[in-house]
Amino acid sequence: MKLYYGNMLESRAGVNGIAIRDIEALEGRIREIDARLKRDRAEGRLQFMDLPYEPVNKIVNIANEAQGCENFLLIGIGGSSWGSIALHTALSHPYHNLLHEDERGRRPRFFVLDNCDPDEFAGLMDTIELDKTLINVVSKSGATPEPMANFVKCYELMKRATRGYAEHFVITTDEDGILMRLAAEEGFTCLTIPRGVGGRFSVFSPAGLFPAAVLGIDIEKLLNGAKYMDSICKNPDIWQNPAYMFAALEYLAMTGKGYNISVLMPYSRRLRHLVNWYMQLWAESLGKEKTRDNKTVNTGSTPLKSIGATDQHSLLQLFNEGPFDKTITFIRVVNYDNKVELPAVFHGYNELDYFGGHTMEELIKTEQFATQLALTTHGRPNKTVEIPEIDAFSIGGLMYFFEVVVTVMGELLNVNAFDQPGVEEGKMLTYALMGRSGYARGEIMRDEGEFIIGEDDG
Amino acid sequence: MKLYYGNMLESRAGVNGIAIRDIEALEGRIREIDARLKRDRAEGRLQFMDLPYEPVNKIVNIANEAQGCENFLLIGIGGSSWGSIALHTALSHPYHNLLHEDERGRRPRFFVLDNCDPDEFAGLMDTIELDKTLINVVSKSGATPEPMANFVKCYELMKRATRGYAEHFVITTDEDGILMRLAAEEGFTCLTIPRGVGGRFSVFSPAGLFPAAVLGIDIEKLLNGAKYMDSICKNPDIWQNPAYMFAALEYLAMTGKGYNISVLMPYSRRLRHLVNWYMQLWAESLGKEKTRDNKTVNTGSTPLKSIGATDQHSLLQLFNEGPFDKTITFIRVVNYDNKVELPAVFHGYNELDYFGGHTMEELIKTEQFATQLALTTHGRPNKTVEIPEIDAFSIGGLMYFFEVVVTVMGELLNVNAFDQPGVEEGKMLTYALMGRSGYARGEIMRDEGEFIIGEDDG
């Protein structure tokens, strides 16, 4: 992997770029942070960093057994689903679920319920036969209402569909959470997420690895990529450490330049859900009201997904000409799995006859380069993470890389990157309104009547 | 449809909200804009607004013939694809492509090539048989490189696959563009987009209507929804016109409060691509360097997609606790197509046993309400567009609504909402690098060697 950051700098992006001296000024803090993180890790407080070194035999064994099924259904939300979705989209066939059985081999079709949308739920139940489905319920707490609603409903339906219903559930949960107890009572297979690992940092735990293994993704290779990246990101010198440099540049863009939007733009459709995983990691870790010493800061930049080349025809106009409020990070792929040679047809049509002798790979790479150049010309700071190809090794490396980046950003911003106090209030309200015991409905009023326009069209 | 905007106001969102007097101060400008738009429309300069009144017989007839095929492949990008994708995702079965033939009836499977990603292209070619596929190439200009690359490749492959290849193409393009000429030569069926209608405002032209009709979506009902919305959005009084109020609130949030991010958060997975359509419409129309009188402004707020309830576990932490730089617009659905009754199981488990007697519809609606309340409590301005249900009528209305909103926003910001000068530069560079005749390669340098970290992992 390479990080190109020249286009983030004043020398290229002009007044909107970052000054080298501002990076230099961070050198000392980065060294301190590096030392602190290493100490925290050694003392077991950054458990997610060591996940790639855990044995995976149990996961592989259960996955091998599970592969016999026609459908694999993941029930989870947020950190319990984005990692698996990202891995599947990046590393399975782009039309996996539509492949014939013999092309898929032992890999089941893959489905996710990551909402509590009744239309989605009903649509899925039209589509799959439950007695041919393995359901993996992923929830650290065992209390999050959306996955639990999907779980109880699937449990009811599975019980109706087959006597051996218990064999159709694998529960991935906290070491001694309530779902462990339930699984023991019901006879469900159980996998555990280490207690100290938060949902959004759990992709290298059974939360992400078990679905990946069932889908036939080489999880050893994935973990090797993560370990390789770990070795790269240990260097205390910001000039030698791509994760530290990435974090420092984003920090300087946010605090020094006031850029509050951070765009991630891979040039591959296969990486589109990796960006969703990244957005969750970034937004939930860094969007915080208070610093660790309880100062009110309301900090955090907003991650934005953009897919190249598609979004050149959607968001790029705004990136090039809108306010100077963004950094753009490209993910560039050196070798795509396919080239796709383009033919010389429609001679005499200037708009169509120049493709001959080129490949589609060449076109998408050219577009990435042209976009990067245009942005730089418009004074828009941008950087590029380059990966040699899209395989389990690169993706493992990339995800580990972003986990380190976000951890270091948390340190630079002095916020707790591992909690999410801002979502508790809505959750409590939901419990109360749904009548969960112990949560009072209290004085919740639905008073929004005064300012309305429009009427129902009946 | 209803617009609830009370939570945007000072009275609810506190100092971060909009003052009623600031809305009042815009009343006059809104009346002027209304008069100008009505004049422009009467004089044929806002053609997209009249699209819902055009006859659709030709589209319906060609669509009826086309429905015999197994696969429908749309080749298009940006404004030529997001509209169709949005309609399909909102109004077809959520697992349309996986339904059995007899469940789909005459509706073909739906595929889109909206990138120039060689892995996506090759993956699709593994999946579909071209001789059972109708290809709809949608391009206003007939020159955009990504769809044209997909087109020439599909043309080559289709010619190999079947002698009657010409019958497998329907071209949707500009009234007298180069693709019209080509289609005549090749014997392709042709549909036209009126010259004055830009790509991102073309969903109610054959660009959006033909794919929708092939997919069995009731396009008459869709257009009726648009016409209904047109009647609602004609009122010159901001207090009676939801599109004018929406635009005014966003304008005041941007210019008065400095909020540069505008979140659209529907509580339905079916509306996820409607948000992508909206993002393109918003970003490309409003993200502009210059005003119409050539003043440099670098304006435009950044649209952000968030899907409820899923992204409560991803972005909500940032929305509730991060910087005060956003407005949030919910899309609330009153009646989902399905309820999904939840069972009372796992007695004694407080986290799981409270669902009995409730439905999944109730849960997702409760979550929307709880999130809105939590945001308001945190002083985060938000508003809600409520639709009675997700059907062709509502979706037609919603899309027309947002087209009017963006048009009015363009007027308030004094920018040309209908051009996209900021994407030309990258396009020219791409042409030059790909060797299209008439585009000089010139002095394009790939100089990014100095600031790199990392190495290939070989």
| 8 Å CB contact of B426 and A450 | no
Does B292 share its domain with B388? yes
Task: Please provide the DSSP assignment of A303-357 as one string.
Answer: EEE--TTGGGGTTHHHHHHS-S-EEEEEEEEEE-S---BPP--STT-TTTTT-TT
Put simply, whether B349 touches A (Cβ < 8 Å) is yes
What is the pLDDT at residue B273? Answer: 98
- CA–CA gap between residue B57 and residue B64 (Å, rounded): 10
Instruction: Kindly tell me if the per-residue pLDDT of B443 is higher than 70.
Output: no
Distance from CA of A176 to the nearest CA of B (A): 14
| 8 Å CB contact of B242 and A122 | no
Over residues B71-127, the pLDDT tens digits come to 999 999 999 999 999 999 999 999 999 999 999 999 999 999 999 999 999 999 999
- CA–CA gap between residue B263 and residue B89 (Å, rounded): 20
| 8 Å CB contact of A300 and B321 | yes
Last residue of a domain, one of B165, B186, B215: B215
B contact test, residue of A4, A119, A324, A416 with most B CBs within 10 A: A119
Q: In terms of Cα–Cα distance, which of B107, B322, B349 is closest to B216?
A: B107
Stretch (H or E) spanning A288: strand A288-290
The tally of CA atoms less than 13 A away on the side-chain side of residue A294 is 0
Which residue of chain A comes nearest to B232, CA vs CA?
Answer: A454
- CA–CA gap between residue A451 and residue B239 (Å, rounded): 9
Put simply, whether B77 touches A (Cβ < 8 Å) is yes
Q: In terms of Cα–Cα distance, which of A194, A219, A248 is closest to A33?
A: A248
Range of the domain at B334: 2-40+224-413
Put simply, whether B276 touches A (Cβ < 8 Å) is yes
Decide if B164 is inside a domain.
yes
Contacting residues of B for A284, CB less than 8 Å apart: 313-315, 317-318
- CA–CA gap between residue A361 and residue A311 (Å, rounded): 17
What is the pLDDT at residue B450? Answer: 66
**Mean pLDDT, chain B, whole residue set:** 95
| 8 Å CB contact of A127 and B99 | yes
Residues 429-458 of B with CB under 8 A from A: 429-431, 433-438, 444, 446, 448, 450-458
Residue B145 · residue B431 · CB < 8 Å: yes
| 8 Å CB contact of B363 and A116 | yes
Residue numbers of B annotated as active site: 284, 313, 427
Contacting residues of A for B116, CB less than 8 Å apart: 309, 360, 363-364, 367
Nearest CB to B388: which of A316, A425, A456? A456
Residues 366-425 of B with CB under 8 A from A: 366-367, 369-371, 373-374, 377-378, 384, 388, 390, 393, 397, 420-423, 425
Distance from CA of A347 to the nearest CA of B (A): 11
What is the pLDDT at residue A176? Answer: 82
Over residues B175-196, the pLDDT tens digits come to 888 999 999 999 999 999 999 9
- CA–CA gap between residue A233 and residue A385 (Å, rounded): 14
Does A408 share its domain with A267? yes
Decide if B56 is inside a domain.
no
| 8 Å CB contact of A309 and B362 | no
Name A147's Cβ contacts closer than 8 Å, sequence gap at least 6. Answer: A75, A76, A77, A80, A113, A114, A137, A138, A139
Contacting residues of A for B370, CB less than 8 Å apart: 426-427, 429-430, 433
Decide if B30 is inside a domain.
yes
| 8 Å CB contact of B78 and A310 | yes
| 8 Å CB contact of B298 and A322 | yes
Contacting residues of A for B358, CB less than 8 Å apart: 434-435
The tally of CA atoms less than 13 A away on the side-chain side of residue B277 is 31
Does A310 share its domain with A192? no
- CA–CA gap between residue B237 and residue B245 (Å, rounded): 9
Does A242 share its domain with A314? yes
Could you tell me how far CA B175 lies from the centroid of its own chain?
A: 23
Residue B405 corresponds to which tokens in the numbers above?
Answer: 């909103």
Last residue of a domain, one of B158, B183, B215: B215
Nearest CB to B434: which of A268, A354, A444? A354
Does B343 share its domain with B370? yes
Over residues B372-403, the pLDDT tens digits come to 999 999 999 999 999 999 999 999 999 999 99
Over residues B264-317, the pLDDT tens digits come to 999 999 999 999 999 999 999 999 999 999 999 999 999 999 999 999 999 999
Distance from CA of B445 to the nearest CA of A (A): 9
What is the pLDDT at residue B448? Answer: 57
Q: Write down the H helix ranges in B163-271.
A: 178-186, 206-214, 219-232, 242-255
Does B233 share its domain with B342? yes
Nearest CB to B313: which of A78, A103, A121? A78
Contacting residues of B for A5, CB less than 8 Å apart: 451-453
Which residue of chain B comes nearest to A435, CA vs CA?
Answer: B354
Decide if A424 is inside a domain.
no
Cα A367-A316-B278 angle, rounded to 5 deg = 125
| 8 Å CB contact of B309 and A116 | yes
Decide if A123 is inside a domain.
yes
| 8 Å CB contact of B178 and A9 | no
- CA–CA gap between residue A220 and residue A146 (Å, rounded): 31
Q: How confident is the model at residue B218 (pLDDT cuts 50, 70, 90)?
A: very high
What is the pLDDT at residue A425? Answer: 84
Name B348's Cβ contacts closer than 8 Å, sequence gap at least 6. Answer: none
Distance from CA of A143 to the nearest CA of B (A): 5
Stretch (H or E) spanning A422: none
Which residue of chain B comes nearest to A231, CA vs CA?
Answer: B454
B112: left (phi over 0), alpha (psi -120 to 50) or beta: beta
Q: How confident is the model at residue B457 (pLDDT cuts 50, 70, 90)?
A: very low
Bond from prior residue into A309 cis (ω within 30 degrees of 0): yes
Put simply, whether A162 touches B (Cβ < 8 Å) is no
| 8 Å CB contact of A360 and B121 | yes
Does B318 share its domain with B364? yes
Decide if B447 is inside a domain.
no
Q: ipTM of this predicted complex?
A: 0.97
Size of interface A-B (CB pairs under 8 A): 505
| 8 Å CB contact of A434 and B354 | yes
What is the pLDDT at residue A458? Answer: 38
| 8 Å CB contact of A313 and B421 | no
**Number of structural domains chain B divides into:** 2
Distance from CA of B82 to the nearest CA of A (A): 9
Instruction: Report the percentage of chain B scoring pLDDT > 90.
Output: 91
What is the pLDDT at residue A443? Answer: 55
Decide if A436 is inside a domain.
no
Q: Indicate which CATH number applies to the domain containing A28.
A: 3.40.50.10490
Contacting residues of B for A279, CB less than 8 Å apart: 314-315
A77-107 b/e with 16+ CB inside 10 Å = b? bbbbbbbbbbbbbbbbbbbbbbbeeeebeeb
Does A209 share its domain with A353? no
Does B286 share its domain with B311? yes
Does B36 share its domain with B113? no
| 8 Å CB contact of A358 and B434 | yes
Last residue of a domain, one of B215, B245, B273: B215
Going by DSSP bridges, is the β-strand pair B452-453/B382-389 parallel, antiparallel, or unpaired?
unpaired
Does A295 share its domain with A368? yes
Contacting residues of B for A340, CB less than 8 Å apart: 118, 121-122, 153
Could you tell me how far CA A43 lies from the centroid of its own chain?
A: 27
Does A26 share its domain with A111? no
Distance from CA of A309 to the nearest CA of B (A): 6
Task: Please provide the DSSP assignment of A17-58 as one string.
Answer: SB-HHHHHHHHHHHHHHHHHHHHHHHTTS-GGGGGGGS--HH
Decide if B6 is inside a domain.
yes
Q: In terms of Cα–Cα distance, which of A145, A88, A87 is closest to A114?
A: A145
Q: How far is CA A300 from CA B13, B259, B323, in A?
A: 20, 14, 7
Residue B399 corresponds to which tokens in the numbers above?
Answer: 């899309």
Q: How confident is the model at residue B451 (pLDDT cuts 50, 70, 90)?
A: confident
- Over its length of 458 residues, how does chain A's per-residue pLDDT go in tens digits? 999 999 999 999 999 999 999 999 999 999 999 999 999 999 999 999 999 999 999 999 999 999 989 999 999 999 999 999 999 999 999 999 999 999 999 999 999 999 999 999 999 999 999 999 999 999 999 999 999 999 999 999 999 999 999 999 999 999 888 999 999 999 999 999 999 999 999 999 999 999 999 999 999 999 999 999 999 999 999 999 999 999 999 999 999 999 999 999 999 999 999 999 999 999 999 999 999 999 999 999 999 999 999 999 999 999 999 999 999 999 999 999 999 999 999 999 999 999 999 999 999 999 999 999 999 999 999 999 999 999 999 999 999 999 999 999 999 999 999 999 999 888 888 999 898 888 876 555 555 556 778 765 43
